[in-house]
Amino acid sequence: MRVAVVAETFLPAVNGVVGSVLRLVDHLAVRGHDPVVVAPSGADYESRCGARVQVVTVPAMRLPRYRQLALARPAGDLTAVLRRLAPDVVHLASPAVLGLAAARAARTLGIPSIAVFQTDLAAYAQRYRLPGGAAAAWRYLRTVHGTADLTLAPSSASAAQLARHGIGPVALWPRGVDLEQFAPCRRDDGLRAALAPGGELLVGVVARLAVEKRLELLAPLSELPGVQLVVVGDGPQRRALTREMPRARFLGQLGGTELGAVVASLDLFVHPGADETFCQAVQEALAAGVPAVVAASGGPLDLVRHRENGWLWAGDDPQVLAATVARLRVDPAAVRAAAALARPSVESRTWGRVGDELIGHLQRLRHAVPA
């Protein structure tokens, strides 16, 4: 198949949507398909299997308080673009502005389209106090996803959320994990000693440093005696968070083997975000053999089993989260037991398997929707 992958953000940005798009495009190329990316940034590049991937750029804009992130701006009619690319199916990655334009163009041309729900725009609208709030965002999402032929949800919580708001049909499509990059064997005792020289319980988070991640709730945890908090990532909240958590170690944006080593060297992974449709960072920590403490909502509910491979934190009280970590600091046996179950809980979720599931959805849609 020739697949047009439409992304609201793309390289050089680093986020969950971009990561998923890169994995999808690589897998399509590996399986002999022909992907082309439509996005607000980026350039043609070579996929992991050596295939040349075309990137078609559209006009972009930058958020006033997040200048490093290029987003698609209202693109008007994309019919001419899709007609020229002539895809068999259109894949809409976390569609919003560009995704809606592409979905409408695909419908005009009789090309089937599949929309991947990956970003909770309603939660963003509420947290950033955008006009109309969550209600307006859900009306917009119903328009976007209603224009596509099928919506894919990354978790059971997201699928239920979409159904409650009148979006369908919906199928479940989770995310894969790189079991080589994130593995217990990546643990680095020297790195661990540098990050926690006093033998502290090493607790870390990998996230975009933005309002919706609620990282400020880690402040009480960062002050616990015998605990060292490590924060990996970058974003508009970095300066405020470093002021609020002076004892935390901020490592900036990491990737590749360096990121794998930091994650595997942790004792606990913690993520306070309550609006995660999936939370890939949690899955990567589990793959590295690191148990996770997460907010009991959204996508992480499919990944973390309470008191088995991690712990669920209910509510918004950061003192409760800190108390959970303080209790685990003095119960190393519980941490070791959860660590032993962490990797087995996700090791079947390879990108190859998940990518083949997506190709199945694309092929069924291609044959089900008449041209």
Tens-place pLDDT, residues 303-360:
999 999 999 998 789 999 999 999 999 999 999 999 999 999 999 999 999 999 999 9
Q: Is 359 helix (H, G, I), strand (E, B) or coil?
A: helix
pLDDT in tens, 88-144: 999 999 998 899 999 999 999 999 999 999 988 888 888 888 889 999 999 999 999
C-alpha–C-alpha distance, residues 89 and 36, integer Å: 11
Pairing of strands 89-93, 52-57: unpaired
Q: Which of 9-23, 44-58, 175-189, 244-258 has the lowest mean pLDDT?
A: 9-23
The CATH class, in words, for 184-345 is alpha beta
Contact 274, 313 (CB under 8 A): no
User: Domain 2-176+350-368 belongs to what topology?
Assistant: Rossmann fold (3.40.50)
Q: Which of 121-130, 158-167, 188-197 has the lowest mean pLDDT?
A: 121-130
Mean pLDDT of 159-163: 96
Contact 155, 299 (CB under 8 A): yes
Torsion angle of alpha carbons 167, 213, 290, 316, nearest 10°?
-90
Contact 166, 341 (CB under 8 A): no
The predicted structure's pLDDT at residue 126 = 85
pTM assigned to the model: 0.91
Residue 52, CA atoms < 13 Å, CB-side half-sphere: 4
pLDDT interval class at 14 (50, 70, 90): confident
Contact 17, 94 (CB under 8 A): yes
Percent of the chain with pLDDT over 70: 95
The predicted structure's pLDDT at residue 369 = 67
Of the candidates 150, 35, 145, 134, which has an alpha carbon nearest to the alpha carbon of residue 100? 145
pLDDT interval class at 292 (50, 70, 90): very high
Domain ranges (residues) in the chain: 2-176+350-368, 184-345
Q: In which region does residue 289 sit, left (phi positive, over 0), alpha (psi from -120 to 50) or beta (all else)?
A: left
pLDDT in tens, 47-83: 988 999 999 998 865 555 545 555 565 557 899 999 9
First to last CA, the chain: 14
The predicted structure's pLDDT at residue 69 = 52
The predicted structure's pLDDT at residue 72 = 60
C-alpha–C-alpha distance, residues 368 and 371, integer Å: 9
- Which has the higher per-residue pLDDT, 323 or 9? 323
In b/e form, how buried is each residue of 41-60, taking b as 16+ CB within 10 angstroms? bbeeeebeeebebebbebeb
Of the candidates 142, 35, 172, which has an alpha carbon nearest to the alpha carbon of residue 90? 35
Pairing of strands 60-63, 66-72: antiparallel
**CB within 8 Å of 246: residues ≥ 6 apart:** none
Specify the DSSP element, H or E, that contains 72: strand 66-72
Q: What is the DSSP letter of 214?
A: -
The predicted structure's pLDDT at residue 127 = 81
